């Protein structure tokens, strides 16, 4: 009890003053939390304060953010060739930056990271991970041993205290094997929690279902993957006549693509999972991540990094209600090896008011990601986002997930081509019309290769196996 209290204070002080957090200390805190749950069945009072961290306090946040930004910028100016040049060119003093003056530093784009990776490195690289490349050339991000150890420990502690994972759980990981950091992180998180992992990858969906049903060893209770791939698993499960009673899943964690309410509902109904979480994460932004609340706000962890919404038209901080792209600065000491500053994700979100009325109101939020900026559809009637279209099409009768489509604007009007077996163009226009989107619809029946060419998704990063062929 006394040791655990001292450890909590040490971690909190490191977070407030921006000193490197000893991963061993966090790991011992996980041990304390496991012992607490073993004794009491749940964490103690005021656990939210521990989970949300010091930055969740609106009165303190501004000051903490300013100090964290200055600390991060000073280190970058000292160690990163790219940012030393960038700060000098912009004429900014890294030690004097504030959330308001941040706009004087140009944003960092993925192209910068792809073109000059060496100039971003500030620490000792230990492992490289890369983006999936579904939105262009993949970016490689190096992480240090400190990051490899710290991030899983912080995530494990958070999952445990929130009750989202517990000892004895088994997480089935259906992410692309290219996402090495994320996969390694999951394995380490669940090791720290005395839980198991099944790293399955993006094998044929039927094989992933076999893993979910496998009672040898530890049967999966949690599942993580991309919505398009998990959508394929839902479709495969329904084809095989499997339902909620066949699985032991308690939670499904989806991210990396738009998750529609229709698909989330289908996942819940098919796998019997109580929780279907829409998470936000990006290799370039690690360890900053986001959670979606019941009001469909995306809440980004303010302790790990600074998030901005940059107006689509002006590039300045967006007013509440305006669309903008999400730019994130992960703070030192959480990101140390290959950090980014004001990284423009090109993910379009809507800025939200500071005060929200949801279960995660203490954590700042933006809207759910609406799509990539270069995929916005500028029609005569207004902007249509990829989320608008995806959510409408996922509701088509007899939809087999993932629904693939191509959307373009012709003479100011939206034209949507949907790959579907059972839906008609009228179904498509009705679904879009219900969302006040006027469109011309076409329904096509395509083979798998043609469908992929029409609309590539993360599930297309499939991994071949011998299992089905050998049968």
Please report, as ranges, the residues that interact with other proteins according to CB under 8 A: 1-5, 8, 29, 32-33, 35-36, 38-47, 49-50, 161
Q: Give 339's strand partners.
A: none
We find the least distance from the C-beta atom of residue 302 to other proteins, in angstroms, to be 19
Contact 108, 340 (CB under 8 A): yes
Closer by beta carbon to other proteins, 42 or else 434: 42
Residue with tokens 């994130």: 328
β-pairing, 413-419 with 251-255? unpaired
We find the least distance from the C-beta atom of residue 333 to other proteins, in angstroms, to be 22
Closer by beta carbon to other proteins, 51 or else 171: 51
We find the least distance from the C-beta atom of residue 53 to other proteins, in angstroms, to be 12
Closer by beta carbon to other proteins, 29 or else 107: 29
Closer by beta carbon to other proteins, 44 or else 412: 44
Residue with tokens 């030393």: 84
We find the least distance from the C-beta atom of residue 163 to other proteins, in angstroms, to be 12
We find the least distance from the C-beta atom of residue 192 to other proteins, in angstroms, to be 14
Contact 211, 200 (CB under 8 A): yes
Q: 10 Å Cβ neighbour count for 2?
A: 6
How remote is the C-alpha of 441 from its chain's centroid?
A: 31
What is the H or E stretch that residue 36 is in? Answer: helix 23-40
Closer by beta carbon to other proteins, 159 or else 348: 159
Tokens of 458: 């993360």
We find the least distance from the C-beta atom of residue 51 to other proteins, in angstroms, to be 8
Burial classification of residue 40, based on how many CB atoms lie within 10 Å of its CB (0-12 exposed, 13-18 middle, 19 or more buried): exposed
Closer by beta carbon to other proteins, 47 or else 361: 47
Contact 20, 333 (CB under 8 A): yes
Query: Closest Cα partner for 287 from 323, 356, 334?
Result: 334
We find the least distance from the C-beta atom of residue 252 to other proteins, in angstroms, to be 27
Query: Closest Cα partner for 181 from 134, 149, 156, 136?
Result: 149
Closer by beta carbon to other proteins, 44 or else 398: 44
How many Cα neighbours within 13 Å face the side chain of 294?
4
């Amino acid at each position: 009890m006394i040791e655990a209290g001292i450890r909590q204070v040490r971690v909190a002080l490191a977070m407030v003053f921006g000193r490197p957090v000893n991963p061993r200390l966090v790991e011992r805190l996980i041990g304390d939390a496991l012992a607490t749950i073993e004794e009491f069945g749940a964490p103690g009072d005021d656990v939210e304060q521990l989970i949300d961290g010091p930055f969740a306090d609106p009165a303190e946040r501004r000051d903490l953010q300013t100090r964290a930004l200055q600390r991060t910028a000073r280190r970058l100016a000292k160690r990163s060739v790219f940012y030393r040049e960038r700060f000098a060119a912009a004429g900014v003093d890294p030690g004097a930056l504030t959330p308001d003056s941040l706009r004087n530093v140009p944003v960092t784009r993925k192209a910068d990271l792809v073109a000059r990776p060496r100039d971003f490195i500030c620490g000792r690289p230990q492992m490289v991970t890369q983006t999936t490349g579904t939105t262009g050339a993949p970016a490689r991000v190096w992480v240090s041993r400190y990051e490899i150890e710290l991030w899983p420990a912080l995530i494990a502690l958070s999952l445990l205290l929130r009750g989202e994972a517990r000892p004895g759980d088994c997480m089935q990981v259906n992410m692309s094997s290219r996402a090495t950091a994320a996969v390694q992180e999951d394995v380490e998180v669940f090791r720290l929690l005395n839980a198991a992992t099944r790293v399955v990858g993006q094998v044929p969906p039927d094989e992933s279902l076999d893993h979910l049903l496998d009672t040898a060893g530890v049967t999966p209770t949690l599942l993580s993957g991309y919505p398009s791939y998990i959508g394929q698993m839902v479709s495969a499960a329904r084809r095989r006549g499997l339902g909620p009673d066949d699985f032991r899943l308690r939670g499904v964690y989806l991210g990396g693509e738009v998750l529609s309410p229709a698909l989330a509902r289908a996942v819940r109904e098919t796998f019997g999972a109580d929780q279907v979480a829409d998470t936000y994460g990006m290799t370039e932004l690690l360890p900053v991540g986001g959670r979606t609340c019941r009001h469909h706000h995306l809440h980004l962890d303010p302790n790990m990094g600074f998030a901005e919404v940059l107006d689509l038209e002006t590039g300045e901080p967006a007013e509440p209600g305006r669309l903008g792209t999400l730019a994130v600065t992960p703070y030192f000491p959480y990101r140390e090896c290959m950090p980014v500053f004001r990284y423009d994700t090109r993910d379009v979100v809507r800025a939200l008011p500071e005060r929200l009325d949801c279960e995660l109101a203490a954590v700042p939020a933006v809207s759910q990601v609406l799509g990539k900026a270069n995929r916005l559809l500028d029609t005569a009637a207004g902007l249509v986002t990829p989320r608008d279209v995806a959510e409408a099409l996922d509701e088509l009768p007899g939809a087999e997930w993932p629904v693939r489509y191509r959307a373009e604007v012709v003479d100011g009007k939206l034209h949507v081509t949907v790959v579907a077996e059972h839906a008609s163009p009228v179904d498509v226009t009705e679904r879009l019309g219900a969302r006040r989107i006027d469109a011309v619809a076409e329904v096509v029946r395509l083979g798998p290769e043609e469908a992929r060419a029409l609309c590539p998704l993360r599930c297309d990063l499939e991994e071949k196996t011998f299992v089905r062929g050998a049968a």
